[in-house]
Structures are given as C-alpha cells and as structure tokens.
Amino acid sequence: MKLEAIIKRNPKTFRIGIILMVLFLAIVRSWYGTQLDSFANDEPYHIVSGAYYAKTGDYRLNPEHPPLSKLWVGLWNANNLELRPFEVLDDKGQERKWLQQIMYFDNDDHLSQRQSRRAMYSFHFVLGLLIAILLWHIFGFGWALCSMIWMALEPSIGAHQPLVFTDLPLTYTLILAALTAGKMCYDWSWKWVIAFGIAAGATLAAKHSALPGLAAIILLSIIFALGPIFRRKVKTGLNRLLRLVVVALLALTVLWSTYGFQYYSSEGAQDKFNRSLELKIADLNTGMWQHLVSIMDQSHLFPRAYVWGLADTIRAGIEGRGENEHLFFGTIVEGRAPYLYFPGAIVAKLPLALMLMFLLALILLAKELIAYWRSRSSNIKDSQWIVIAFIGAFVLAHLLALASGRTSYGGIRHALPVVGGMGILAGAIGLLKLPGFRYSNRLVPTALFCITLIMTFGEKRIYEYYNEIVGGTENAYKYFADEGIYQGQRFYETKAFFDQPGIDPDESISAWAWYMREEWESENLNFDTDLVKDIYDDSNEDGLMKGYYLLPMNTYLKWPNWDPNDIKDLKSIKRIGNIDIVYGEFKDPKNWAYSMYDKVIRYIRETDDPDWAVIAKRLEKVTEHLDWATSSFVILGNAYVRIGQKDKAIAAYKRAQENYSEEDPYQNSLKEHLLQIENAIDLHQVPNLRPASFE
C-alpha cells in the first residue's frame, strides 16, 4: 500500500507519529550537543537535595527552588544515591558544600549524571507532548508542528533538556498554563478549569520566578471573568469568578502535593533551613518585599520552604548581590543591569533563521489582527485569539520582571520562558501563503528549519551557542559574560588535559573560572593556588604566582577593576570553549588580596568563634588592594564592631556605601546598620551585617 493511502486512511495516527518523532528528534539533537558536558555547577546541589526529598520527605535543603523537577530527579536517583544523616548546616555556602561532598565523595557522580539526564529527558518529553497536543487541539496540526520543530531546533532549549535546572520546566509549565487558561476563558467548561488549575500548580512548583508570568495569566483570566458583569450579566460573571476560585484551590493543592502536604520543612513541626525564615525575610532590603513575604508566611497558604525560597529569589534576583558588572554587547555597565539586557541576550542566542521565522509570524499575526479588527474576518478564530493573548501576557510579564531586577548573571536560562513563548507564536508561520506555490504554507518554514539545522548542527556544545550577530560561539565572550557563556560543563576536558603525559602533577593550577571544589578534589586535581594557606599566612604578599591558570575568555577584556595587560606574559596552551588554559608566572599584590579574602570568608563560615582581630588585620590589607570590593568593607566593619572599634567600623561601612550605587537596595541595610552603631551603647549587642554577595 502506498504511503499516501496509509496517510489518508489514518491521518490522525500519522500525525501523532510525526509529533512523537519531532519530540524524539529534539532529544537526539540535545544529546548530540550536550554529550560531552560535565555537570553544570548547580546540578549536584539540586540532585542530592531532590534525593533527600524523595527518600525522607524532608524539604529543608535547597529551598530556594521549588521541588517539582528536583523531586522527579530525586525519585530517579533514589536507588543509586547514598545519603548522609542530616546535619545542622549554616548558610547556603556550607549547605552547597555538604551536598556536593555527598555527590562526589560518597557516590558515583558519573552514574548520577547519566540517571539525571534520563530523568530530565523523560520529564521534558512528557511536558512537550502535552504542549504539542494542546497546540494541535487549539491551533491545528500545522501550527503545532511548526512550534515543536522550532523548539526542538532552538539550541538553548535543547541545552537545558538534560539539565537538572528549573528554567525549562518553568518554561513548559507556563506555556501549559497559558494554553489551558485561554481555552478556559473561551467556554468556561469545567474540564479546562481543572486543566488550568493543575497547570498553574505545576508552574508554581517549578520555580519562584513563575509568579510574574502566572500573575499576568490570572489577571487576564479575571478580566475575562468580569466581562459579563459590565454587561449586566452578574450571575454569569460570579459563576466565572467561582471557577477561578476553584483554579486557585487546585493550583495550591498541586503546589502543596510537591511538598508532601507539609507546612513545615521537617517533621515535628520544625524548620531546619540553613538560615531561618525570619532572618531570610529580614535580609530583604526593601520594606515592600519584606511585608509581602511576611504576609505570605502568616497566611499559611504556602509551605514555609516555598516562602523561604521566594525570599531568597527576591534578595538575589531582584535586589541583587551588589558589585554588579554587566557585559552587554561589548559595553560594561556597572550597577543595575540594562533594561534591555535579557532581550539582547535572546537576540544574541537565537539562531537567525528561527528569529526570522518568529518575526514573520508576528507580522502575519498583526495582519490577521488588523483584518479581524476591521471586519471580524480572520483566519484565526476567536478562541485562538484568546490563547494568543495569554501567551503574549506571560511573555511580556516575564520580560518586565527580568527588566525590573538588578542582575544579569542567569543570562538566557532566566529568559527561557520568553524563548518558549516565542516558539509557540512562531507556529503562526503556517498562515503564510505565497502566490503561485501550491505548498507555500510549508515552503518557508521548511527552508528556515533546514537553514537552522545546517547553521547549528556543527555545535557540539549547544549550551554555549551564540549566533552570528556577536561573531558566533567563538567570539561571544567579547559581548556577554553571563551564565549563557559557561556554567562549568568543561570539567571533563579540563581533567583530560591535566591527565596527559608530560603535564607535571606538582605544578599549581589556579582556577579563575568556576569549577566545583568537590568535583576536582574527587578527581585528585588541585585547582587551588594555595597562594594563601590560611588567614594566619603572612607569606607572599607580593602575590607571586606560577603554574597553570584556567581563565574565562573574558579575562582578556578590560574591566573597571581589571587590566588584561597584567597577564600579557602568560602563554596560552589550549582553549576549551570559554576556558583558556595558560601557563606562566606573574606578580600582583591583588592576587594575594583575592586569595586572602577567600580564606577569610571560608574561615568565618567554618569557625564558631572567629578571631575578629585577625580578620580585621587581614581585611585592612585586602581593602588596600581591592578598594572597590564592597563586601570586604562590610566584613571589615563587622570585624571592627566585634573588637569594639566604633569609629573604624563606621568608616568601613561608609566606604561600602560609597562603592554601592545610590539606588542599590542594599544602601537601606547599610544606613540602618550605621544608625544602629552610632546609637549603640554596647557594640556587642549589634549584630553583624550580612554582605549582599552572600546571597
């Protein structure tokens, strides 16, 4: 029997097969572009905490991210991860270290990575299939197929498919929430009320940054619900509002289910976070955010671990960690990230053919909207316009939320929901019809997909992909320096380099890029310079260094507090992605200052009763060399308070104030702390001020 006859006889079955094939091809493309990667730097933290959730039902660990994807991966790893008995952990740094020790010292990290990749591929496959089915139901098969191929070929989405991150689950669940909300607001049937409630709950459980996009979806739903009231159909409006209440109850039920329906994080009505929720709320620098999170906690509508994570997200993501420098299309911006930073990161990351397809789809949608507005005649139905409005609402809300924050460190991964929304809207390319072409609605998207495949297929590290606007992946470091450039996945190649014959194992290796300490220690590598042994080490204040250096490529750029001429005599040995392995010797007192600062921080975190006089002595010298480093002055001020030197403490905090931009929220904490010190009779009653960089 000919293929055409088979297709005509079973068109639905054939199309289901096509959708499944696209989803499997997305996995194959993702696997090909990520197979060489080691763990991204946050993955062990998420995986081991998820295993604790699955095995113990205790949610005290890693509460800054909700449990959805971590719990899923934890279930997949439950049989192959050995866990330690719980310990009392102080702050995020110690917690991360403990969880990474479990991964790398107590377990087979390679096995865990393989198992975790399988878990995330299956998780994203299920979510992708649900999206495809809904798109097919709402817009038709052509639109669904174009959108799913677009997302299958988009490198950043593909790069995140196997990663134990929360960004792609958030992207998929937000899309599901928008699709189901749009369908609900068209006919208000109970099946869509239930579907929207479940999708909204999954979105809440995916990531705290779901809130802006989900709020936009809910606000638009409320507007649709209130519409009949303004037309004097009060009963209909109240009925719709009642259904929205059901949506909210369902969403909260799904969220609570991911926390095992536990209000407290641990059994016995206890919370044993690395930092108490009360202190976490107090860490917020803006009164509005403090009140909002406090109200959420007092309402008991949310698990306490969820509230803790929201406070952490606001503190780190919106208020910022201070000392921010953003490389934006080759220009360094200090303080707040540029408002267009994330749209710029998307423009630099999307393959040009996919971007063109999205722009063509927007033009077609605008054309159809104008036709609909003028004559109510359009190729897009009323129900479809409603869904499109919901997609647009969450995309714009997420973009505005990103623009309102001070940070840029997450790069494209924080903007993934926007990219996913673009992929859904790009499906409208199927509306394009060229005169004289029988298959014109297939010709343009097929050509653009082929161009995308040709231009990106050679990329074996798709996490690092950048398009031709910034000179491609090879030159992207000159334009951006966020986590879209590098997230630690080059460890396997780095280890292979130092395992080569001829490499002296006694040579020091200084990692200026982010490599997890427990990862390299477990492989018997020493990426620590040992320039300073501990805080009592008085040697080598000249900062003489010799050996190998693992440099991020943007080290070769001039920064406000860094001159690449300082390392001009170092010899490049091998570049692996955005890491350059170099060798040589150079002397700079700032090297000593950086190393001493790291040792001071580690000493404070690991010592119950620190010697604050020694800390003050060390940081006095550190701040001489790093007079721009705000956290150094804050900790120096803390040290002076602890040893009773009031005037010096005030001077140190004021110097920190000078280093922060005036509009930085952390200025509020500095002002309040200075006032407290100035009015203090007994300095021993004044607590330490938490540096912004500790979040």
Cα 7 from chain centroid (whole Å): 43
Residue at a domain's end among 431, 453, 483? 483
Would 637 be classed as within a structural domain?
Answer: yes
Average pLDDT, rounded, for the chain: 93
pLDDT digits (tens, 9 = 90+) for 490-509: 999 999 999 999 898 888 89
Asked whether residue 619 falls in the same domain as residue 685, the answer is yes
At residue 434 the predicted structure's pLDDT band, cuts being 50, 70 and 90, is low
**Is the pLDDT higher at 640 or at 437?**
640
CA distances from 401 to 209, 214, 333, 556, 675 (A): 9, 12, 19, 32, 32
Percent of the chain past pLDDT 70, that is, above it, reads 97
Asked whether residue 456 falls in the same domain as residue 360, the answer is yes
Retrieve residue 209's tokens. 């940054």
Asked whether residue 83 falls in the same domain as residue 113, the answer is yes
Structural domains in the chain (count): 4
Retrieve residue 607's tokens. 């010592």
Would 317 be classed as within a structural domain?
Answer: no
Would 102 be classed as within a structural domain?
Answer: yes
Strand partners, 575: 580
pLDDT of 104 > 90? The answer is yes
Give pLDDT, residue 478.
97
Asked whether residue 538 falls in the same domain as residue 648, the answer is no
Give pLDDT, residue 437.
58
pLDDT of 124 > 50? The answer is yes
DSSP per-residue codes, 480-504: B-STTT-SSTTHHHHHHHHTSTT--
Q: Which of 199, 201, 243 is nearest to 221 (CA)?
A: 243
- Number of C-alpha atoms within 13 angstroms, CB side, residue 326? 24
At residue 5 the predicted structure's pLDDT band, cuts being 50, 70 and 90, is low
Strand partners, 461: none
The most confident of the ranges 102-111, 331-340, 668-677 is 102-111
Retrieve residue 93's tokens. 């740094």
Is 545 in a helix, a strand, or coil?
Answer: strand
pLDDT digits (tens, 9 = 90+) for 260-317: 999 999 988 999 999 999 999 999 988 899 999 999 999 999 999 999 999 999 998 8
pLDDT of 142 > 80? The answer is yes
- Of 318-322, 603-607, 644-648, 661-665, the range with the lowest mean pLDDT is 318-322
pLDDT of 638 > 90? The answer is yes
Would 581 be classed as within a structural domain?
Answer: yes
Asked whether residue 656 falls in the same domain as residue 535, the answer is no
At residue 436 the predicted structure's pLDDT band, cuts being 50, 70 and 90, is low
Would 220 be classed as within a structural domain?
Answer: no
Q: Check if the beta carbon of residue 59 is closer than 8 Å to that of residue 259.
A: yes
Q: Give the residue ranges of DSSP H helices in 188-209.
A: 190-206
Asked whether residue 368 falls in the same domain as residue 475, the answer is yes
Asked whether residue 118 falls in the same domain as residue 138, the answer is yes
At residue 477 the predicted structure's pLDDT band, cuts being 50, 70 and 90, is very high
Question: 530: alpha, beta or left, given left = phi > 0 and alpha = psi -120 to 50?
Answer: left
Asked whether residue 678 falls in the same domain as residue 572, the answer is no
Helix 612-625 to helix 630-642 angle (10° resolution) is 150
At residue 662 the predicted structure's pLDDT band, cuts being 50, 70 and 90, is confident
Retrieve residue 574's tokens. 């091998």
Asked whether residue 28 falls in the same domain as residue 111, the answer is yes
Q: What is the rounded distance in angstroms from the CA atom of residue 54 to the CA atom of residue 667?
A: 41
Amino acid at 685: Q
Residue at a domain's end among 558, 587, 616? 587
Asked whether residue 414 falls in the same domain as residue 509, the answer is no
Would 266 be classed as within a structural domain?
Answer: no
Give pLDDT, residue 498.
95
Give pLDDT, residue 431.
79
pLDDT digits (tens, 9 = 90+) for 51-64: 999 999 999 999 99
Strand partners, 213: none
Domain of residue 420, residue span: 323-483
Q: Check if the beta carbon of residue 165 is closer than 8 Å to that of residue 43.
A: yes
Q: Check if the beta carbon of residue 655 is closer than 8 Å to that of residue 628.
A: no
Residue at a domain's end among 431, 452, 483? 483
Strands 509-511 and 544-552: parallel
pLDDT of 3 > 60? The answer is no
Asked whether residue 640 falls in the same domain as residue 502, the answer is no
Asked whether residue 27 falls in the same domain as residue 109, the answer is yes
Retrieve residue 689's tokens. 């001020």
Would 338 be classed as within a structural domain?
Answer: yes
Give pLDDT, residue 428.
94
Q: What is the rounded distance in angstroms from the CA atom of residue 237 to the CA atom of residue 227?
A: 7
What pTM value is reported for the model?
0.95
pLDDT digits (tens, 9 = 90+) for 575-595: 999 999 999 998 889 989 999
Give pLDDT, residue 1.
45
**Is the pLDDT higher at 686 or at 1?**
686
Would 249 be classed as within a structural domain?
Answer: no
